[in-house]
Amino acid sequence: MNIVASAAQAKHILHTAKQLNTLADRCVKCGMCLPHCPTYHLTRDESESPRGRIALIQGLTGGQLAYSDKLETHLENCLKCRACERVCPSLVPYGELIDGALTHIAREVAPQSARRLRLLNFVTQPATLRTLAKLLRVYQRSGLRALLRGSGLLKVLGLARQDRLLPSLHTVHPWQAYYPAQNTPRGDVALFTGCIADAFDQATSRAAIQVLTQLGYGVHVPPGQRCCGALHLHNQQPEQASALAQENLAAFGGLDVQAIINTASGCGATLKEYLALNPGADSFTRKVVDISTFIASVPWPENVMLKPLKARVAVHDPCSLTHVLRQHEAPYAMLRKIPEIELGSLPDRARCCGAAGSYMLTHPTQADALRDEKLSNIEQLDTRILVTSNIGCALHLAAGLREKHLSIEVMHQTTLLARQVIQAH
Ligand code: SF4
Ligand code: SF4
């Protein structure tokens, strides 16, 4: 990863205090965003609302407010779900503003603050993550997990939460570089497999390849692809995010494909914003599309049948799909292709579940409070299956369901669709 070269590319997303102040000035303080903000919903505290946070940024960057630990905590408590941005009549670019302000504080105002997330570099390396997944699988199956849980050592080491989030891990397989079409050919697409999803949820990528090849697409899985950079971008490391963008642009750049398909909407939201990290990313970002949007939009071949599913399926809408990509209807449209399926959307479906990237690890109290509301709503739907487009939401919600001993299977909607496909012939 060439951080030095990427520092220049990322330079234009580093904001000065004056630039941040100008962005914050766009807020007219109307308050229309407040009812949509999950942290305001939990606290009813103005400083935990979008309007309050923007006022804090305005004060800090305009020189009226001094930096304080409390001020930074209010900003860091933001989930970056961008529900506020979607409803703002003044089009305040809140996502850009909060990331810019936190990076500005980390670089210029309080670089000594020790509590910021230090990202592990292995997140950027799918091969290393796959090795970690293999080791964790041994840990789960050897009895070591039960031993450590029973001894209380996980709590002492501060790893109990991470342990609870781990799904039941399966063997991790390498990908072929190309999967040929299994039906009348319609051209080629490329698949972005992600890093966490590739290590902990290969079932979704396998399902995507199965469905896409059945629909007649050849699927490239470029071996040089890396982490999308979302965690870095939202944790004050834009240079690393830009370096990862460079590597992904190179990995996908030479392919003659109709679309670059992502399965995790959190990755898709970041891939779509590569233009901010690299001015030459235009042709890449135009081709990036979420799997549900792609499948819902292409004609379904007559020779690919779907088995009926007589069941109620709950759908959780991730913030990345709802507020950033704004394609939250696509999973429903895709799943309605399954005969007899009954889809149940959750009340307050636009509210974040608390996963929010690394937030579920860094802010457990708020993350669990938001999750508990979702879980009660899911329980009321009386369902056995929950689908969601984002790996982070899936891990967070599945961990909560396990803790409550609720027997509900959590999966990506593409996995459910693939289960119902009857092979073309
Ligand atoms: S909706 Fe927009 S303009 Fe109104 S308070 Fe919220 S951020 Fe400011
Ligand atoms: S991004 Fe989400 S949590 Fe943060 S201020 Fe906006 S609505 Fe609230």
Q: What is the pLDDT of residues 220-265, one digit of tens each?
A: 999 999 999 998 888 888 888 899 999 999 999 989 999 999 999 9
Residue spans per domain, the chain: 3-109, 121-165, 178-297, 305-422
Q: What is the 3-state secondary structure (H, E, C) of 178-227?
A: EECCCCCCCEEEEEECCCHHHHHCHHHHHHHHHHHHHCCEEEECCCCCCC
Q: Is the pLDDT of residue 155 over 80?
A: no
Ligand nearest to the CA of 95: 2
Residue nearest ligand 1's atom 8 by CA: 27
Hey, do 3-109 and 178-297 end up sharing a CATH topology, with the first three levels equal?
no
Asked if 226 and 244 touch (Cβ cutoff 8 Å), the reply is yes
Comparing 11 with 136, the larger pLDDT belongs to 136
Q: In this predicted structure, what is the pLDDT of residue 97? A: 96
Share above pLDDT 90 across residues of the chain, in percent, rounded to a whole number: 70
**How far, rounded to the nearest angstrom, does the alpha carbon of residue 103 sit from its chain's CA centroid?**
20
Give the number of the atom of ligand 1 that is nearest the alpha carbon of residue 91.
2
370 lines ligand 2 (CB under 6 A): no
CATH 1.20.1050 for domain 178-297: yes
Give the integer Cα–Cα distance in Å for 240 and 242: 5
Classify 289 as helix, strand or coil: strand
Asked if 308 and 338 touch (Cβ cutoff 8 Å), the reply is yes
Quick: pLDDT tens for 86-125.
999 999 999 999 999 999 999 889 887 645 555 445 455 6
pLDDT band at residue 420, thresholds of 50, 70 and 90? very high
29 lines ligand 1 (CB under 6 A): yes
Give the integer Cα–Cα distance in Å for 322 and 314: 16
Burial of 85 (0-12, 13-18, 19+ CB in 10 A): buried
Mutate to test the pocket of ligand 1, among 39, 90, 96, 97 (most ligand atoms within 8 A of CB): 90
Burial of 269 (0-12, 13-18, 19+ CB in 10 A): buried
DSSP 348: T
51 lines ligand 1 (CB under 6 A): yes
Give the integer Cα–Cα distance in Å for 329 and 265: 13
Least confident of 113-117, 130-134, 340-344: 113-117
Give the integer Cα–Cα distance in Å for 133 and 199: 6
Q: In this predicted structure, what is the pLDDT of residue 119? A: 47
CATH 1.20.1250.20 for domain 3-109: no
82 lines ligand 2 (CB under 6 A): yes
Asked if 223 and 175 touch (Cβ cutoff 8 Å), the reply is yes
422: β partners? 305
Task: Map tokens 């950033």 to a residue.
Answer: 324
**What's the sign of the alpha-carbon dihedral 98, 104, 107, 112?**
negative
88 lines ligand 1 (CB under 6 A): yes
pLDDT band at residue 126, thresholds of 50, 70 and 90? low
| 128 to 121, 264, 361: CA distances (angstroms) | 10, 20, 21
Residue nearest ligand 1's atom 1 by CA: 88
Mutate to test the pocket of ligand 2, among 27, 39, 45 (most ligand atoms within 8 A of CB): 39
pTM of the model: 0.87
pLDDT band at residue 199, thresholds of 50, 70 and 90? confident
CA 203 / ligand 2 centre spacing (Å): 31
Residue nearest ligand 2's atom 7 by CA: 37
Q: In this predicted structure, what is the pLDDT of residue 195? A: 83
The fold of 305-422 is Rossmann fold (3.40.50)
Asked if 418 and 338 touch (Cβ cutoff 8 Å), the reply is no
Mutate to test the pocket of ligand 2, among 34, 42, 80, 322 (most ligand atoms within 8 A of CB): 80
Residue nearest ligand 2's atom 8 by CA: 37
The average confidence (pLDDT) of the chain is 88
| 267 to 203, 270, 273: CA distances (angstroms) | 17, 5, 10
Ligand nearest to the CA of 89: 1
